[in-house]
Amino acid sequence: MKSFASDNYAGVLPEVMEALNNANHRHARSYGADDITNDTVQLFRQAFGADVDVHFVFNGTGANVLSISSATQSFNSVLCSETSHIYCDESSAPETFTGCRFFPLKSNNEGKLNTETIRQRLIRKGDMHYAQSSILSITQTTEYATVYSLDELKAIGDLTRSNNLYYHIDGSRFFNAAAALGCTLKEMSTDVGVDILSLGGTKAGMMYGEAVVVFNKELSKHLAYKHKQSMQLASKNRFIAAQFGAMLKDELWRTHAAHANAMAQLLQKSIADIPGVQITKPTQANGVFAIHPVQWNEKMWEHYPYYVWDEHTNEVRIMCSWDTSAEEVKDFAVRMAAL
Amino acid sequence: MKSFASDNYAGVLPEVMEALNNANHRHARSYGADDITNDTVQLFRQAFGADVDVHFVFNGTGANVLSISSATQSFNSVLCSETSHIYCDESSAPETFTGCRFFPLKSNNEGKLNTETIRQRLIRKGDMHYAQSSILSITQTTEYATVYSLDELKAIGDLTRSNNLYYHIDGSRFFNAAAALGCTLKEMSTDVGVDILSLGGTKAGMMYGEAVVVFNKELSKHLAYKHKQSMQLASKNRFIAAQFGAMLKDELWRTHAAHANAMAQLLQKSIADIPGVQITKPTQANGVFAIHPVQWNEKMWEHYPYYVWDEHTNEVRIMCSWDTSAEEVKDFAVRMAAL
Amino acid sequence: MKSFASDNYAGVLPEVMEALNNANHRHARSYGADDITNDTVQLFRQAFGADVDVHFVFNGTGANVLSISSATQSFNSVLCSETSHIYCDESSAPETFTGCRFFPLKSNNEGKLNTETIRQRLIRKGDMHYAQSSILSITQTTEYATVYSLDELKAIGDLTRSNNLYYHIDGSRFFNAAAALGCTLKEMSTDVGVDILSLGGTKAGMMYGEAVVVFNKELSKHLAYKHKQSMQLASKNRFIAAQFGAMLKDELWRTHAAHANAMAQLLQKSIADIPGVQITKPTQANGVFAIHPVQWNEKMWEHYPYYVWDEHTNEVRIMCSWDTSAEEVKDFAVRMAAL
Amino acid sequence: MKSFASDNYAGVLPEVMEALNNANHRHARSYGADDITNDTVQLFRQAFGADVDVHFVFNGTGANVLSISSATQSFNSVLCSETSHIYCDESSAPETFTGCRFFPLKSNNEGKLNTETIRQRLIRKGDMHYAQSSILSITQTTEYATVYSLDELKAIGDLTRSNNLYYHIDGSRFFNAAAALGCTLKEMSTDVGVDILSLGGTKAGMMYGEAVVVFNKELSKHLAYKHKQSMQLASKNRFIAAQFGAMLKDELWRTHAAHANAMAQLLQKSIADIPGVQITKPTQANGVFAIHPVQWNEKMWEHYPYYVWDEHTNEVRIMCSWDTSAEEVKDFAVRMAAL
């Protein structure tokens, strides 16, 4: 069975699995004081073209919550998209751990925030009755598998900097975005003014592990303490680092992310003209959003699971991953066309 | 280099590594809805001889905090040993996530709590000014690598049950304890009245992953929600489950834990008679506690790192792991004797 | 100077001041175990026609947060209006104390929630990735000084009950609402299915003090503990109770709340026809919302402060209190008409 | 009935009641932006001989938690006495609001911490596994109604400053301490290096209200936000300020605190020689600690309630307040002598 439900249904990239096997010899100091971790951090600094600090964590919720906590005290608020993972899919973890309020902002049809929407929420500064906004969080790629352009990212960076807001990107699919834009990791982070990034590994083909990448040294100040406090510090940290090492070496991530993106393009093209199918979002990364008759779901799911994103309209999300094959995509389309 | 610093310096058991490689094919449903997870939960139920619920988590702090949260609301307090990991080595994660007060109880020279000490803290029930105690947490093996006997565990279980306290065991080295006692997992948990257990995998030879094992169904009520909320729910959960599957199959854990314990026995015997060495705790599991002249540390550390546990007395902890060899132990002793 | 900024600019009702003076003799047991508290609770039970539990607290934020905490654990979410005080004006106190997520719902032009809006947010029950909604909070009177009808309140109560949601009313101006509807406190709470109520005293003419009134015994279970834990338990509790005693005796609250409401009616009538003034909300309680030219503000504020509610439109809130006089209202209108 | 149970059983000083009545005219700006608040803050600055910031709060728990929160982030720990109110009698409010760990230190027989005990806990700085200590909290007078000397306070201040710890005093009976030492408020705070003080009003004869007094400007940085967030900001703040205004004017507090202290001295002298009575703590402020036969309690309580502090030994606390009379003290002693 190959699923189109989520890229986290996929397994582990062979290169990553090899790196795990290779990392498993000898003793290594725990909690990140080992050589593999040290080497991998150097790879991050090269890839991001900056003297970043890196904190390896277990999962995306951990990465987001730790990132947010670096820039907040409990009287603060966080601005994010109403459709964001941190707002919709991480339970109350963000509030419970940080104590902060999360204000949802309206995203546009592509699931993106624009600067005008953000600007309108920059209110009541200095008013003690209002949880003071200290950080903005956006998602790249978005929950609709769309991609902010470098200009859009830069515009948001300019806005946050001039308003004393920190700038966070939830990049659980950051590699897919960079592959889609054909840019480097540096161009999509350092160069647009990001302060802190949740860099996703799991959906990109790792077994587990994400990285909190810190560009703004102010946010590093207490982060080692918060890392441990957030229950996200691995004792055998080398095994997360080794995976990221494999991903970053010679931009391995790009090959696999580009493939997943290409499969989504192929899928979109393959189903767009099927009568009854309406593509609802531009296909820019590794997911396709479409509306089709609700009665198709059950039949399609016998072979290819996917998610219903909006029950009212039967808008569905069809997700490709690093191991999705062109044959599977074509078979998916053929089966759908036959309904 | 082979370290005696901590069993979390060791790598991954070959059988576990093999299980990880084997688990890495096909797609699998995420967040624990996969077949490997399901099969492994069955193995837990066999091993514990009870209809336990199992929540797989990333690390020991996560396991402890999630376990505690299952049995508390924020106005509660938690009783634990003053020497416990949850009290000394998990930052403020327990308070930040649960909101509760943690009351440290005096442990005896072996790092154990006894029922009399616990009983004396069962105070002020119903007094709204006092954070109401709802759960007791002990550690098996203790932080001093000693082991509660089954009778001791049972006595505590009787006390907690008759006082409406929940009973938690932090079992980051639970396998070492069971190997030391020569008992089953069931005898050391189900049979002594434990309500919830943090079962350690990492120090026992897994790459990452622990399990929250729930014996008392009351504590399961909201645990799925709290699991996600605690940032401890893995999307590719099958890879934690697969490791535990390997550990539980034919009691693989026992072989390796018994070996680590045996190495500690050998070590203790090998250094006990060295002039200047004083063994300070009974060696019951995989660690040796001893006092020796402080100036020996630097020389020994050139070959074999270990921790100083008490700077005032130079009490040191020398830890064996699944991959410690008799040759290394003997070499360690020879070098120490030569100082 | 008489302000129209907020009813919390007013002082203390003479009858309440007298009750405070009367309560100040002899010793009394602390933390609510005194006779005055006991007697006042009986008055509550009469007024609400139910065996309510009452917890006296210091201020409105405390009342709301304590109420919410009675019905939540930290993995829950709270539904409230996007314009509610608990969402806009209580900093992050609700999140910090409860750990919960607060989901803002769109209110209609009168600042009210309707059942359809609520119903649409009753989503993802049982989904561990989503903070599970456990309580709905509405405000009576609303932040726009409008009043839910008994039918509207009842419809919401029916909806919450049939969906296993608890029902909270933030009643910082509950007395004004009851005076406006000409109903009893019982009709506006017990009879519509409210589970827990923040009953405001301060804005109604008390020096300090609000009451958490619990209709649903399930929510009382841990409330004494949470009361202390929320930092809202007064040692000399008799002085809050004495004030409420004066308010409830012979419905003193009604006289004063009705007066404030009448002053708002007079004000609305007196300014509605002034060219340039547009009344924006129905005047149902003790506040008037209107738009007028922004340049009028400075001149009016020389004599009568009031709040600008919406800077974009210069919608202003003009608030009457128990000590607002008809002369002041008329003078206000005369001065505005002269601009 | 006159109670010796707690000074919070007493009512309100006539001078304070008068101040409340006087403050009750006209409108005043809310949340502390009024003239009475402003004037009272000036009185604080005179009394403390420093440019202190003052935040008026409702109760002692609120004052302590707000003070602690000014000096902590959630990964921090707090050092306090094992017998302190903040550790024993404020539920889990400190943890729930701040997220921090509270480490109890052993107090001496007089309930005081000494510098050596504190110094021994200054451990593991920079160790991310350990909640980093950022503030020390002591209580003046202590929970045993003893008083730190100015030298003792200064020694602690020197220790905290040289170790980058903030220094908090829980001064719920600070006035009693200053009266006992015959010193000014300035000498007991500013001059000994205190960073932040919870100054008690309620037990000293106010109706309600305490003050957080900030000596160290670093701690003021976010305090206005935290004040609101902690649910401790009064809308009609003038009524707390007016009470403190009366207390500080011409050191009114000293007269009444000295009286309460004198009554405790008289009580101690009057019962010390009764056979069966053993005074257990030096009587330095307004409370007497003694052991007497447990069977006396019931008979004494018919006339004069007091608290049993230690059930094992029947150590009791007999507390005097501003309105305790010499006649009552003598009658108490006569009745006890007759048992």
- Nearest by CB to C235, from D8, D21, D23: name it: D8
Question: What is the per-residue pLDDT for B110?
Answer: 95
Is residue C21 within 8 angstroms of chain B, CB to CB? no
CB-nearest to D95 from B95, B128, B130 is B95
Distance of CA B228 to the CA centre of its chain: 22
Mean pLDDT, rounded, for C68-80: 98
Which 8-state DSSP code applies to residue B195? S
Domain A252-338 fold is Aspartate Aminotransferase, domain 1 (3.90.1150)
Q: CB of D120 within 8 Å of any CB in chain B?
A: no
D100 at the B interface (CB within 8 A)? yes
Question: Which residues of chain B does A233 touch, with a Cβ-Cβ cutoff of 8 Å?
Answer: 59, 61
Neighbours of chain A (3+ CB pairs under 8 A): B, C, D
Distance from C-alpha of B171 to C-alpha of A152, rounded to nearest angstrom: 50
Between chains, do B225 and C128 touch, taking CB under 8 Å as contact? yes
pLDDT below 50 — which residues of chain B?
A: none
B56 has a chain A CB within 8 A of its CB: no
Per-residue pLDDT of B152-193, as tens digits, reads 999 999 999 999 999 999 999 999 999 999 999 999 999 999
Residues 6+ away with beta carbon under 8 Å from A134: A71, A72, A73, A76, A77, A78, A165, A166
- Probe site for chain B from D101, D132, D143 (most B CB atoms < 10 A): D101
The helix (H) or strand (E) run that includes residue D318 is strand D315-319
The answer to whether A99 faces chain C, any CB pair under 8 Å, is yes
CA distance C295 to C290: 14
Chain C interface, best mutation among A6, A61, A95, by max C CB count within 10 A? A95
Query: How many angstroms away from the CA of C326 is the closest CA of chain A?
Result: 32
CA distance A101 to chain C (A): 5
Q: Choose among C73, C132, C228: nearest Cβ to B73.
A: C73
Return phi, psi of residue A209, to 5°: 115, 135
Residue from D17, D20, D22, D27 to probe the interface with C (highest C Cβ count within 10 Å) = D27
Instruction: Kindly identify which residue of chain B lies nearest to residue D90, measuring between CA atoms.
Output: B129
Strand (E) or helix (H) holding A214: strand A210-214
pLDDT tens per residue across span C12-22: 999 999 999 99
pLDDT at residue B2 in the model? 82
CATH topology for D14-251? Aspartate Aminotransferase; domain 2 (3.40.640)
pLDDT at position A2 is: 82
Long-range interactions of C301-307: CB distance < 8 A, separation 24+: C303/C1, C303/C331, C303/C332, C303/C335, C304/C2, C304/C3, C304/C4, C304/C328, C304/C332, C304/C335, C305/C1, C305/C3, C305/C4, C305/C5, C306/C3, C306/C4, C306/C5, C307/C5, C307/C6
CB contact under 8 A, D96 and B92: no
Which residue is associated with the tokens 């006991």? Answer: C38
CB contact under 8 A, D131 and B104: no
Rounded distance between C-alpha atoms, residue B86 and residue B64, angstroms: 7
**C76 has which bridge partners?**
C132
User: Which residues, in sequence order, are bridge partners of residue A166?
Assistant: A135
Which residue in the set C99, C102, C104 is minimally distant from A96, CB to CB? C99
**Is any Cβ of chain A less than 8 angstroms from the Cβ of C102?**
yes
- Nearest-angstrom CA–CA distance, C198 and C135: 14
User: Average of pLDDT values for C234-258?
Assistant: 98
**What local confidence, expressed as pLDDT, does residue D2 receive?**
82
Distances (CA, A) of D284 to C202, D6, D155, D258, D276: 40, 16, 20, 11, 22
The contacts of residue A250 (CB under 8 Å, 6+ apart) are: none
Of residues A128, A131, A233, nearest to D224 (C-beta): A128
Which segments of B99-149 does DSSP mark as H helices, in order? 115-120
Q: Please give the angle made by the CA atoms of D54, D59 and D65, to the nearest 5 degrees.
A: 70
C-beta of residue D94 within 8 angstroms of C-beta of residue D102:
yes
Which residues of chain C are within 8 Å of residue B233 when distances are taken between CB atoms?
128
Encoded amino acid at D267, one letter: L
- Set of chain C residues whose Cβ sits within 8 Å of the Cβ of A310: none
Residue-wise pLDDT tens digits, A183-195: 999 999 999 999 9
The beta-carbon neighbor of B224 closest among C128, C222, C227 is C128
Closest-CA residue of chain A to C99:
A96
List chain B domain ranges.
14-251, 252-338
**Cβ(D234)–Cβ(D56) below 8 Å:** yes
Q: With an 8 Å Cβ cutoff, are B74 and C128 in contact?
A: no
**D11 contacts in chain C (CB < 8 Å):** 23-28, 236
Extract the residue ranges of chain A whose pLDDT is less than 70.
1
Residues of chain D numbered 249-308 and touching chain C (CB < 8 Å): none
Burial class (CB in 10 A: 0-12, 13-18, 19+), C50: middle
Q: Would you say the ipTM is above 0.95?
A: yes
pLDDT of residue D1: 66
Quick check: D180 contacting B, CB < 8 Å? no
Cβ C8–D231 below 8 Å, yes or no? no
Of C91, C95, C102, the CB nearest to A130: C91
Neighbours of C197 (CB within 10 A): 28
Average pLDDT over residues C101-126: 96
Contact criterion met (CB below 8 Å) for A314 and A291: yes
Q: List for chain B the helix, strand, coil content (%; round to 5).
A: 40, 15, 40
Find the helix or strand (DSSP H, E) in which C44 lies: helix C35-48
Residue D28, class by beta-carbon neighbours within 10 Å (0-12 exposed, 13-18 middle, 19+ buried)? buried
pLDDT band at C94; cut points 50, 70, 90:
very high
Q: What is the pLDDT of residue C2?
A: 82
Measured between beta carbons, the chain A residues lying within 8 angstroms of B234 are 58-59, 208
**Cα atoms found within 13 Å of the Cα of residue A167, Cβ hemisphere only:** 26
- Kindly identify which residue of chain A lies nearest to residue B230, measuring between CA atoms: A93
Cα–Cα distance between D307 and D316 in angstroms, integer?
Answer: 6
Q: Count other C-beta atoms under 10 Å from residue A295's C-beta.
A: 9
Nearest to D96 among B88, B99, B130 (CB): B99
Taking alpha carbons only, the member of C245, C253, C257 closest to residue C20 is C245
Q: Which of A9, A17, A97 faces B21 most closely, judged by CB atoms?
A: A17
User: Which stretches of chain D drop beneath a pLDDT of 50?
Assistant: none
Q: What token pair was written down for B122?
A: 């069962």
Please tell me the distance in Å from B4's CA to the nearest CA on chain D: 20
Which residue has tokens 């279980």? B157
CA B19 to chain centre: 22
Going by their DSSP bridges, the two strands D196-200 and A210-214 should be labelled as unpaired
Cβ pairs B/D, distance under 8 A:
61
C-alpha angle with apex A117: A142 to C306, nearest 5 degrees?
145
Listed in sequence order, the residues at least 6 apart from D273 whose beta carbon sits closer than 8 Å to its beta carbon are none
Nearest to A60 by CA among A170, A205, A204: A170
Q: In chain C, which among 191-220 make CB contacts under 8 A with chain D?
A: 202-203, 207-208
Q: Could you tell me the sign of the dihedral formed by the alpha carbons of A236, A239, A240, A244, in that order?
A: positive
B202 contacts on A by Cβ (under 8 Å): 235-236
Q: Is C134 on the interface with A (CB under 8 A)?
A: no
Which of B50, B48, B47, B101 lies closest to B74, judged by CA? Answer: B101
Summarize the confidence of residues C88-105 as an average pLDDT.
Answer: 98
**Preferred mutation among C6, C65, C91 to probe A, highest tally of A CBs within 10 A:** C91
Question: What residues of D are in contact with residue B96 (Cβ under 8 Å)?
Answer: 74-75, 99-100
* Contact criterion met (CB below 8 Å) for C56 and C234: yes
SS (H, E, C) C177-229: HHHHHCCCCCCCCHHHCCCEEEEECCCCCCCCCEEEEECCHHHHCCHHHHHHH
Say how far apart CA B133 and CA B165 lie, in whole Å: 7
Q: At what angle do helices D238-248 and D14-23 cross, to 10 degrees?
A: 140
C75 and A92: CB-CB below 8 Å?
Answer: yes
Do C9 and D3 lie within an 8 Å CB cutoff? no
Which chain B residue has the Cα nearest residue D125? B91
- Burial of B239 from C-beta contacts in 10 A (0-12 / 13-18 / 19+): buried
Specify the amino acid at residue A225: Y
* Chain B residues closer than 8 Å to C75 by CB: 222, 225-226, 228-229
| Chain B partners (3+ C-beta pairs within 8 A) | A, C, D
Q: B4 in contact with D at a CB cutoff of 8 Å?
A: no
Q: Residue for token digits 């569905």?
A: A316
Per CB-CB distance under 8 Å, the chain D contacts of A132 are: 225
Q: How far is A158 from A193, CA to CA, in rounded Å? A: 7
Interface test with D, best of A57, A69, A227, A229 (most D CBs within 10 A): A229
Answer whether A236's CB lies under 8 Å from B8's CB.
Answer: yes
Q: How far apart are CA C120 and CA C113, in angstroms?
A: 12
